[in-house]
Amino acid sequence: MTTNTSTSSTTDDLTTGAPNGTGAPDGANGVGGPTGTVGGLGEHPAYEAGFTESANGRVYTVTGSDWEQILGVGEEENERIVVNMGPQHPSTHGVLRLVLEIEGETVTETRLVIGYLHTGIEKSCEYRTWTQAVTFLTRADYLSPLFNEAAYCLSVERLLGITEQVPERATVIRVMVMELQRIASHLVWLATGGMELGATTAMIFGFREREKVLDLLELITGLRMNHAYIRPGGLAQDLPDGAERAIRAFLADMPKRIREYHALLTGQPVWKARMVDVNVLDAAGCIALGTTGPVLRAAGLPWDLRKTMPYCGYETYEFDVPTALEGDSFARYLVRLEEMGESLKIVDQCLDRLRPGPVMVADKKIAWPSQLSVGSDGTGNSLAYIRKIMGTSMEALIHHFKLVTEGFRVPAGQVYTQIESPRGELGYHVVSDGGTRPFRVHVRDPSFVNLQAVPALTEGGQVADVIVGVASVDPVLGGVDR
């Protein structure tokens, strides 16, 4: 650092503590002699400043005990820096907060702070009828709402004892829309993961194909997200005209897109450098932490509830369970890409199995709502049905009113039902006290459980790899906080 060595009366005033009130001694503001005293501290040894002459003027060197201590702290091995990541950081897939303790660029401790997206969904179900609760639970994991609807409705149907009465067509459509949504969820993971790693092309491609899936779900259910389509006893409505044709067009196009993802990313050097041997968690670690889904299968264990504990007739479908052995972020990427291909196989089989028939149980004490139609103002009861209950049958009108306002009663008991969501085991523990509302609904959300593996994935790695680790787990904070 060079300074101008000329002095003035202003300097004299500063040195003597003139009325300007600064009291700065000689050497302040880069001006003064070799003593280098500052801020009125006098000849304190901690603020000694020597200088040497150079072609550009004097070069000052700061020495002293305090400065030496500052330098010494940086050389100590136990130096720790705490970094707050979130809760608004884009890599956290929602409002997740990470508190990182780092040494240099190495993460020594990772602490997770959740709860920023708590909406009281489970408690709200206790104040709604068994059917109305679907509209709350579909908003938990907002990237796979149909899985929440299915797991809950399967639980209610077990309590009612009507599992075998659900029409075959309704079960096949349930499987079909769930597998379509599994593809959509993995595409969101690919798009957001690509964005976080700087692969913007992957982001564009992923969201492009997801839009096609959402268009299909909107055609079938009336909504792009939060569908409330799966109901206790069956479905809200049947497939509309043109749905099968649109799904087959998607099935013909999507395999080519998956090959594009492989060509774009699988062999890409930067993509592999950021993911291969990064955030490794082996099968033993996954089991100890209760981790399921693609994270577990990427560690070599082919645990998929569609195969190991089948539901909705999954045991009758032909598909494979993709696995990998490495247990790193790249293995999770490969597993999810392969799972999209397997879901396409299942959807194709569903289309071949569709036969004409009802999509709701025949018991009119449970079947609610009835005979829906899609109009310009959304989905609602068909006009023909409304005319019937309003004009020709007083008993039907009374029954419809009581079923909607009061709901049906469910025998007392409790069940736990688990299904394979895009993120792993999604379980619903549903308790009934014999009334028209759930006594308790508890969700075993895979994002909540899998998120607890983040410290094991990230500690000992680099700060930049924390983003990769969180993305590879694919948590959805709506399901975590509920």
**Mean pLDDT rounded to a whole number for the chain:** 82
The closest alpha carbon to 330, from 399, 280, 264, belongs to 280
Contact partners, residue 233, CB within 8 Å, separation at least 6: 153, 157, 160, 162, 165, 166, 360, 361, 363, 366, 367
pLDDT digit string (tens) for the chain, length 482 residues: 444 444 444 434 433 334 444 444 444 444 444 444 444 444 444 444 555 666 666 655 555 555 455 445 545 556 678 888 877 666 556 688 888 888 888 888 888 888 888 989 999 999 999 998 999 999 888 899 999 999 999 999 999 999 999 999 999 999 999 999 999 999 999 998 888 888 889 999 999 999 999 999 999 988 888 888 999 999 988 898 899 999 999 999 999 999 999 999 998 999 999 999 899 999 999 999 999 999 999 999 999 999 999 999 999 999 999 999 999 999 999 999 999 999 999 999 999 999 998 888 988 888 865 555 555 555 555 666 666 666 666 777 777 778 888 888 999 999 999 999 999 999 999 999 999 999 999 999 999 999 999 999 998 889 889 989 998 998 888 888 88
Give the pLDDT score at 445: 93
pTM over 0.85, yes/no: no
- Neighbour-count burial for 255-277, b at 16+ CB within 10 Å, e otherwise: eebbeebeeebeeeeebbebbee
- Neighbour-count burial for 290-306, b at 16+ CB within 10 Å, e otherwise: bbbbbbbbbbebebbbb
Which residue pairs from 378-382 have beta carbons closer than 8 angstroms and sit at least 24 positions apart in sequence? 378/222, 379/222, 379/236, 379/237
Secondary structure E strands in 220-265: 230-231, 234-235
Domains of the chain: 9-71 (no CATH), 123-368+407-481 (1.10.645.10)
pLDDT in tens, 197-232: 888 899 999 999 999 999 999 999 888 888 889 999
